[in-house]
Copies of this chain bind each other. A is one copy, B any other.
Amino acid sequence: MKTLARKDQIRLKAQMLFRERGYSATSMRDLADELGIEAASLYNHISSKEEILQGICFGMAESFFAAVEPVTLSALDPKAKLQSALEAHLRVIAENSDASAVFLHEWRHLGEPFLSDFKLMRRRYEKLFVTLVEEGIARDSFKKMDARVVARTILSATNWTFESQKTSKSDGDATIQQIAELLVEGLIRR
């Protein structure tokens, strides 16, 4: 199917541009230029600018859940579980850094009702990590602390770490484990 190929091409370039310049500062003509076609031609493949953003944001939400949720249901001990979840989270970001940046920064330009849906999803995702921390505390594996603050701090640290640094796939895996371990070991150990 060539249709899908072209649509995916659009999405790929859009991810790049939305990340670099932001959603609002990226015009359909910019995007079209990048693909070597006219702006109007884009509408043979997509139905609106916002549709592209929706695809990116909710697509990434799915990826994050698909990677992390299974880990939270596994039978690992709290510390290993949290670290695995974190590594899964980091891997999704590393493997898709443009889309992740858009997911993290540009979602506010979604219109309703998508905006509300997105916020809800985001909350649910954060909750996964909060629960992992709470579990660890309850089972006396982690020191006693505000689970929400810690979970948020951890996610914040991970999200920004990949913001500015290019992630070459060679050192990516090492770095991921290094960061996850650093955070878990440091912030959680009792």
Stretch at the interface among A40-48, A70-78, A180-188: A180-188
Q: How many residues of A contact B (CB 8 A)?
A: 35
Q: Check: A152 CB closer than 8 A to any chain B CB.
A: yes
Q: Check: A24 CB closer than 8 A to any chain B CB.
A: yes
| Closest-CB distance, A95 to chain B (whole angstroms) | 19
Task: Kindly supply a per-residue 1/0 record for chain A positions 8-42, scoring 1 wherever the CB is within 8 Å of any chain B CB and 0 otherwise.
Answer: 00000000000011111100000000000000000
CB neighbours (8 Å) of A153 from chain B are 157, 161, 179, 182-183
Q: Pick from B161, B185, B189: contact of A152, CB below 8 A.
A: B161
Given the known interface contacts A156-B156, A161-B156, the answer about A150 and B182 at a Cβ–Cβ threshold of 8 Å is: yes
Q: Check: A173 CB closer than 8 A to any chain B CB.
A: no
